[in-house]
Chain A
């Protein structure tokens, strides 16, 4: 039972994140308290934290890609992508979302920051899905349908982002997985983790196609009633 006190760090993390306290402070305090109750000295804890932070600098490698991203954003990367999506013919709400999801997932897998609720979904993807959906239905959306398609549009952004990102071997999630496993004594390569993240991305895409297909059907059915 005496060992159970070591779990206090987890309690601090869960409570701190749930209460939306400053994340950096919560993580550091959790580490300090866990170390202290486990009988480590203050300096020893600092040494472990500092050592691990420096040897995991790779997790923040994305800093080096900021200048080129900054240039591309200023010179119209997003505007061009928006233009391409706008070229889709014979669109339905589901098709618009599926194509966005495909682009979003592939972009995430290549570590291209192309997407976002604010940058893409609100100004572009949702209006296009709405327009296409209302054309299929033959009438304007009801309030309920509006919420339904908005939810799906935001979901497409999240699906592609979450399940696509780890297919890039420099993604911070992949680096975290490697860091935790190496700390525990398992030598794994970044490439193998990224490769093993592909099945989930593919299955997610298939399931999303099914979900969007049923959404199209529902919208069409509502139009006939």
Chain B
């Protein structure tokens, strides 16, 4: 049974890889950076499809090649024609609220599947997350097809547009996890923990929690990215000074990342959330959004410290 579930997981990743491969071929139609865009998404697709078979060293080398393509601006967004707004409006009136059904199915079906255990020869097996989400997405797609009869060509075209829009930064969480693995083997967390341990008394939970929350906020503000701050600060501060002092890992981890998001609310470095939208909305002040978010961010920082102390221990 385990073997079957592992194969099912790999099938889901093969499907993910195919979306990337389709994007690669769409990249060939680009006006700029045709080859680079093609190679970037093709390599990513292959890593997804063959990940379990390829030697890790080769995957690492392929990722470096992708990094070079991305850094030299060889990965570009192609030209796409937007769907006709008139058509969208007509279709939304025709289908009505039923259009929300497939959208909700992704989350609801995945959640249901994740709670089911499959009984098999006296043992019970949990459905792996990848399979749950994969099956939910496919079920949603089938319901969407029955409801809307979309043209396959348009669906492929739109899917590749979505991936190109997200672009290389879609890999960021995965790459940051890889960076975290390098940091762990290099002992980076220990170095930070020792440095901070020299300043603050070990075993003081209140100070540990405050430093973790504030560290997440400050690093996120500097970097403009909560994910990047999380992998560094959790290894360096969160684990030694909060979790190892008796904190519940799942609770502390969950609160650690959203503590970072409080920093995102206050920093112009998070340009896509705070600065670009103010241009989109044509505000007089560039900082109108940050100004509106400041009271919430400060209140939520206090909330995070309290929740960590109350719920995390």
Residues of A within 8 A of B (CB): 3-4, 6-7, 9-10, 13-14, 17-18, 21-25, 27-31, 34-35, 37-38, 40, 43, 45-54, 56-81, 83-84, 109-112, 114, 117-118, 121-122, 126, 143, 146-148, 150-155, 157-159, 161-163, 166, 168-170, 172-181, 183-184, 186, 188-194, 196-197, 199-200, 203-204, 207-208, 211
Contacts and interface: CB of A to CB of B under 8 A. Distances in A.
17 contacts: A3-B194, A18-B222, A38-B187, A49-B63, A49-B179, A53-B177, A56-B174, A61-B130, A63-B16, A80-B92, A150-B289, A154-B278, A170-B132, A177-B230, A200-B303, A203-B303, A207-B300
B283 interface: yes
A196 B141 contact: no
Contact of B187 (A3, A45, A181): A3
Interface string B153-193: 01111110111000011111111111111111111111110
B230 A77 contact: no
A75 B88 contact: yes
B249 A188 contact: yes
Nearest to B188: A6
A40 B162 contact: no
**Most chain B CB inside 10 Å of its own CB: which residue of A14, A43, A170:** A170
B267 to A, nearest CB: 10
Interface in B237-293: 239, 243, 249-251, 253-258, 261, 264-265, 269, 273-274, 276-278, 280-285, 288-289, 291-293
B39 interface: no
Q: Identify the 3 closest CB pairs spanning chains A and B, nearest first.
A: A76-B92, A46-B60, A50-B59
Contacts of B207: none
Nearest to A152: B292
Q: How large is the interface on B (under 10, 10 to 19, 20 to 34, 35 or more residues)?
A: 35 or more
A48 to B, nearest CB: 5
A192 B129 CA distance: 13
Contact of A27 (B175, B255, B258): B175
B192 to A, nearest CB: 7
Given A63-B19, A79-B89, A71 B129 contact: no
B114 interface: yes
B278 to A, nearest CB: 7
A72 B182 CA distance: 40
**Most chain A CB inside 10 Å of its own CB: which residue of B183, B190, B264, B265:** B183
